[in-house]
Amino acid sequence: VNQILLLLLVLTVCAILYNKVHQAPLALKNETVDLESPEEMEEEIPVVICAAAGRMGAAVAAISSIYSNTEASVLFYIVGLKTTIPHIRKWIENSKLKEIKFKVVEFNPMVLKGKIRQDASRPELLQPLNFVRFYLPLLIQKHEKVIYLDDDVIVQGDIQELYDTKLAPGHAAAFSDDCDLPSTHEMVRSVGMQNTYMGFLDYRKQAIRDLGISPSTCSFNPGVIVANMTEWKHQRITKQLEKWMQRNVEENLYSSTLGGGVATSPMLIVFHGKYSSINPMWHIRHLGWSPDARYSEQFLQEAKLLHWNGRYKPWDYPSVHTDLWENWFIPDPSGKFKLTRPDS
């Protein structure tokens, strides 16, 4: 009997050891598969676009162009004022854009109280949403890297390429230099645009001269930004921008009568010598500067991103290269937003 009991005990121990040895690799294999699951490894690309009253069609076209030209997982942060949010949400949810991943974020214009100098010459440049780019870390919490785009752009390339822009250590943002492409130099000369700091800051003011920035320094355009949120917060970029906004209210250091209005100038000051560069083809600008000046069709087809900065927007009339923009426009289901065309 004792021998039989001993044999049973040995067999039981062997069975336990066998199960442990053979089941462990299976458990490890399952765990490895879960860790490498494409759904979990996929990185989301956060893209911030504003939806302003009167120009929501611009935001819709920009979103449509991005979504249609990438396989990447894009999360759109659509920023609006309290009064405009229901309209843009309804537009998206009742169109073919209902498949996109998006969050609607309300921007509180009270954060700008006392920081904007009123200027009647170009009141559209004083709209609250023009300053959303100053407050990116307050609006977007969970992302390390963020793309900000003006609403008057369309994207013809894969947004993943723009997101992969390398930022140098210590740089909170990447922009496009206004002196980066010979083709844009020709456009600048033809319509008398400014592409240096002289066109944005008032060098008659001592505070500007004290910066030690040469007025012939090439400017950059903050309509397309790739930003590092950790560096932005570490360097207190928002606080720095607010400081220069406040100083402008008190000393009139720049104004909307100058080239870039009131949103570009503080960024030129704060980021001077401390930004990385975006591939020039990822920000072809000045399409909205003149209703007559045009780029070649071949050049525009090669461009990854087109920007109608300036007064002449592609949803209005007159404007240029509107066909490229209309390729991505989605009509407003509510009928409130309509394109302005010569036959309308």
Per-residue pLDDT tens over the stretch 300-339: 999 999 999 988 999 999 999 999 999 999 999 999 999 9
Least confident of 12-26, 98-112, 230-244: 12-26
**Residue 282 located in a structural domain:** yes
Overall number of domains in the chain = 1
- pLDDT for the residue 329: 98
Q: Long-range contact list for 209-213, CB < 8 A, 24+ apart? A: 211/269, 211/272, 213/269, 213/272
Average pLDDT over residues 242-259: 82
Domain encompassing residue 222: 45-180+190-327
**Residue 39 located in a structural domain:** no
Per-residue confidence band for 40, with pLDDT thresholds at 50, 70 and 90 = very low
**Residue 284 located in a structural domain:** yes
DSSP secondary structure code for residue 284 in this structure = B
Per-residue pLDDT tens over the stretch 114-133: 998 776 455 566 789 999 99
DSSP secondary structure code for residue 236 in this structure = T
More confident residue, 122 or 182: 182
Per-residue confidence band for 36, with pLDDT thresholds at 50, 70 and 90 = very low
- pLDDT for the residue 6: 60
Are the C-beta atoms of residues 175 and 271 closer than 8 Å to each other? Answer: yes
Per-residue confidence band for 294, with pLDDT thresholds at 50, 70 and 90 = confident
- pLDDT for the residue 126: 73
More confident residue, 29 or 7: 7
Token reading at 54: 């009167």
**Residue 35 located in a structural domain:** no
- pLDDT for the residue 290: 87
- Distance in angstroms (rounded) separating the CA atoms of residues 60 and 329: 7
From first CA to last CA, the distance across the chain in angstroms is: 103
**Residue 334 located in a structural domain:** no
Written as one letter, the residue type at 308 is W
CATH number of residue 105's parent domain: 3.90.550.10
Half-sphere CA count of 294, side-chain side, radius 13 A: 12
- pLDDT for the residue 267: 97
Per-residue confidence band for 195, with pLDDT thresholds at 50, 70 and 90 = confident
- pLDDT for the residue 168: 98
Indicate the SS3 state at residue 205.
coil
**Residue 171 located in a structural domain:** yes
**Residue 5 located in a structural domain:** no
Are the C-beta atoms of residues 238 and 232 closer than 8 Å to each other? Answer: yes
Q: pTM for the full model?
A: 0.85
**Residue 238 located in a structural domain:** yes
